[in-house]
Amino acid sequence: TDEDWRNREKWEQYENAVCDMVERTSTDLSPWTLVEANDKYFARIKILKTLCGAIEAALERLPHHKKKK
């Protein structure tokens, strides 16, 4: 669409704005995870792995959690 082409012309500005936003708002407690979305399968796998990793880390911080071997 015409809107897509106008937006494409501003790609560098969008990219810079995203980088600034991530740098200013990502913290150790609530980090951003950037997901490359050119390939939906890859994007979904990355999201699932990131989510599983965050859940596992949270469970390990619980006092009654015992890691199974």
pLDDT of residue 64: 83
Q: What is the rounded distance in angstroms from the CA atom of residue 47 to the CA atom of residue 40?
A: 10
Domain assignment of residue 13, given as a range: 1-32
Q: Which two tokens stand for residue 28?
A: 């150790």
Same domain? 47 vs 25: no
pLDDT of residue 66: 65
Same domain? 26 vs 42: no
The alpha carbon of residue 57 and the mean position of all alpha carbons in its chain are separated, in whole angstroms, by: 16
The alpha carbon of residue 51 and the mean position of all alpha carbons in its chain are separated, in whole angstroms, by: 10
Same domain? 27 vs 38: no
Q: What is the pTM of this model?
A: 0.67
Question: What are the pLDDT tens digits along the chain (69 aa)?
Answer: 888 888 888 999 999 999 999 999 999 989 999 999 899 999 999 999 999 999 999 999 999 876 665
Residue 36: phi, psi to the nearest 5? -70, 125
Q: Which two tokens stand for residue 49?
A: 């792995």
User: What would you report as the CA-atom Rg of the chain, rounded to the nearest whole angstrom?
Assistant: 18
pLDDT of residue 48: 98
